Amino acid sequence: MSENIIEIQHLEKNFGSHKVLSDIDFSVKKGDVTTIIGVSGSGKSTLLRCINVLETPSGGKILFHGNDIDEKGFSVTDYRAKVGMVFQNFNLFSNMSVLQNCVVGQVKVLGKKKAEAEETAKYFLEKVGMLPYINAKPKQLSGGQKQRVAIARALAMEPEVLLFDEPTSALDPQMVGEVLAVMRQLAAEGLTMIVVTHEMAFARDVSSHVVFMKDGVIWEEGTPEDIFVNPKKDETKDFLARFIN
Amino acid sequence: MADFIEGIIKVWNGYGPSFLNGALNTLIVSFIGTVAGCIIGFGVGVVQTIPVDKKDPLWKRVILTAVNLILKGYVELFRGTPMIVQSVFIYYGARMVFDYQIDVWPAALLIVSINTGAYMAETVRGGILSIDPGQTEGAKAIGMNHVQTMMNVIIPQAFRNIIPQIGNNFIINIKDTSVLSVISFADLFFTHKSAVGALYLYFESATITMAIYLVMTVTASFLLRLLEKKLDGDDNYDLATTDTLAYTSGMLSYHQKEKTLEDFK
Ligand SMILES: Nc1ncnc2c1ncn2[C@@H]1O[C@H](COP(=O)(O)OP(=O)(O)O)[C@@H](O)[C@H]1O
Ligand SMILES: [Mg+2]
């Protein structure tokens, strides 16, 4: 059995007195594709944001290769460079071209030479089909194109794990496919991913592990077959019934 | 009317070069003051937007709070008092308190710079806070620290957004530096006062002064609009060649572009 890259233990998050996550436990191994499903407001984004330390957890632990990320001396910025994130709203740097978006992190954070960083950026931009657009600014791209660039930007950091927070939810329906195709390819190539999504077909076909969340807790989890074919809890069945039709 | 035109000619013949020299000094002090004010404003605005984390050590939070208090005091003081009073305060105050007679030029530059800096600080702070938090999150998510995020992502965008306000400050400075005549800074208005003192042609001299101020402000705002247009850039971009084989040999520039309809217009 291979080592856990990320291990989450009893994670809790409160916003004031509002309990958003409680007692979240799960772990991710190299090559795992974990999808997190659940209605909106169930805490999926908050969970991902805690994993990437965009939110500070209120309790519990997150271990990265066995090291507590809250420990003194643990570098959050180094950690974030290894745990990438793709956002629902892309968050591309609007003052930079497509190429610069994919280069800046490599140069400033990883300390790579510009030429090398550009090669890497182009490699990943080609992978997501955005190489012809390297000189474009984000505002000149469609949503699907932006998201593919955002994926390339995250990949260019060569992270160990990539987190996706509803990467297709802000897209027009005709653009969802192009982004999902890229994600399917990445999964097939063995990239470790944690994906929050409402795309049930993607979750069913691509995941190694599915987590169903409700009201800030993991209600049910298992293989895609466990969740989509033989769900045990009524809540899971209700949720799926609403999404599958 | 003939008298009036005659008067104008008389003033101009006597003081034309002085008016132009005064106008030049006005432009120089306004320009340098605006640039220096911008630098001060960015410094203050950036410090004021340093996030404090609950996990930061106590000393860091204490220092930051103290510095922010001082900066807030600076901003309030120089926005809340007239520049003419600030001028005499600094020019004569320096002599009384520090026993040091500051020269007119350094005094003028200092006054305009710190006055503009106070206004720019608020503008910059607003500019930074108005950038979509998603930009910061995007930067954090690839491992950038606060300084890297500010330098590479937030400040360039904030700067672009506040260029109109920087321009406005420059235009305001062209007009408001007229108060510097109170410390005998030889700007355009000071020239007017000298001309009037010698020739007693108030209306004529004022007309010339008004006209020169107007030419300067109108020209400045025209140039600014040009600059803004240029910075907005065109909405087109060159598609890099789609021949992916071309990328394998470490090629880095993509200047060759396919001919498009645009090229034939
Ligand atoms: N910054 C915040 N402050 C207060 N409440 C928040 C904040 N972010 C999220 N929440 C609340 O936490 C709950 C879970 O939100 P979220 O994680 O975004 O859910 P999901 O991604 O599953 O839709 C919601 O009730 C939301 O209102
Ligand atoms: Mg969400």
- Same domain, residue pair B221 and B249: no
B161 interaction partners in chain A (CB closer than 8 Å): none
ipTM: 0.93
- Same domain, residue pair B166 and B263: no
CA distance, residue A130 to nearest chain B CA (Å): 10
Question: What distance in Å separates the CA atoms of residue B22 and residue A115, rounded to the nearest whole number?
Answer: 51
Per-residue pLDDT of chain B (265 residues; tens, 9 = 90+): 788 999 999 989 989 999 999 999 999 999 999 999 999 999 999 999 998 877 788 898 999 999 999 999 999 999 999 999 999 999 988 888 888 888 999 999 999 999 999 999 999 999 999 999 999 999 999 999 999 999 999 999 999 999 999 999 999 999 999 999 999 999 999 999 999 988 898 999 999 999 999 999 999 999 999 988 887 765 556 665 444 333 333 333 333 333 333 333 3
Between residues A6 and B257, which one has the greater pLDDT?
Answer: A6
CA distance, residue A214 to nearest chain B CA (Å): 26
Using N-to-C axis directions, what is the helix angle for B202-232 and B155-176, rounded to 10°? 170
- Same domain, residue pair B200 and B87: yes
Q: Give the per-residue pLDDT at B255.
A: 35
For ligand 1, say whether the CB of A20 is within 6 Å of any of its atoms.
yes
- The domain tally of chain B equals 2
- Same domain, residue pair B226 and B256: no
Q: Which segments within chain A are labelled E, that is strand? A: 4-15, 18-29, 33-37, 59-64, 67-68, 83-86, 161-165, 192-196, 209-214, 217-222
Ion ligand 2, residues whose Cβ is below 5 A away: A 45
User: What mean pLDDT is predicted for residues A199-223?
Assistant: 95
- Same domain, residue pair B76 and B129: yes
Mean pLDDT, all residues of chain A: 94
Rounded (to 5) percent helix, strand, coil in chain B? 80, 0, 20
Nearest to A131 among B140, B156, B240 (CB): B240
**Are A115 and B250 in contact (CB < 8 Å)?**
yes
- Same domain, residue pair B153 and B249: no
User: What mean pLDDT is predicted for residues A99-115?
Assistant: 96
CA distance, residue A108 to nearest chain B CA (Å): 7
Give the type of residue at A16: G
**Are A80 and B142 in contact (CB < 8 Å)?**
yes
Q: Please, are residues A98 and A105 in contact by the beta-carbon 8 Å criterion?
A: no
B5 HSE (CA, 13 A, CB side): 2
Question: What distance in Å separates the CA atoms of residue B105 and residue B103, rounded to the nearest whole number?
Answer: 6
DSSP 8-state secondary structure symbol assigned to residue A139: G
User: What mean pLDDT is predicted for residues A36-51?
Assistant: 95
B152 interaction partners in chain A (CB closer than 8 Å): 93, 104, 108
Structure tokens at A125: 């931009």
CA of A138 to the centre of ligand 1 (A): 27
Atom 2 (ligand 1) nearest CA: A15
A154 interaction partners in chain B (CB closer than 8 Å): 141-142
* Ligand 1 atom at shortest distance from the alpha carbon of A55: 1
CA of A198 to the centre of ligand 1 (A): 17
Chain A contact present for B219, CB below 8 A: no
* Ligand 1 atom at shortest distance from the alpha carbon of A43: 17
- Assign residue B217 the CATH number of its domain: 1.10.3720.10
Residues 119-138 of chain B whose Cβ lies under 8 A from any Cβ of chain A: 132, 134-135, 137-138
Q: Burial letters for A181-219: b for 16+ Cβ neighbours within 10 Å, e otherwise?
A: ebbeebbeeebbbbbbbebbebbbebbbbbbbbbebbbb
Domain of residue B70, residue span = 2-233
- Same domain, residue pair B178 and B246: no
3 state SS of A148: helix
Cβ atoms within 10 Å, residue B125: 21
- Same domain, residue pair B252 and B193: no
* Ligand 1 atom at shortest distance from the alpha carbon of A15: 4
- Same domain, residue pair B262 and B225: no
- Same domain, residue pair B225 and B247: no
Q: Give the per-residue pLDDT at B236.
A: 59
- Same domain, residue pair B69 and B84: yes
Q: Give the per-residue pLDDT at B265.
A: 34
Structure tokens at B48: 């004021």
- Same domain, residue pair B15 and B30: yes
**Are A119 and B153 in contact (CB < 8 Å)?**
no
Show Cβ contacts of residue A68 under 8 Å, excluding neighbours closer than 6 positions: A61, A62, A74
Question: What distance in Å separates the CA atoms of residue B42 and residue B77, rounded to the nearest whole number?
Answer: 18
User: What mean pLDDT is predicted for residues A181-188?
Assistant: 95
Give the type of residue at B259: K
**Are B237 and A137 in contact (CB < 8 Å)?**
yes
Residues 240-259 of chain B whose Cβ lies under 8 A from any Cβ of chain A: 240-242, 244, 247, 250, 252, 254
Question: Residue length, chain B?
Answer: 265
Of A153-157, A178-182, B56-60, least confident by mean pLDDT is: B56-60
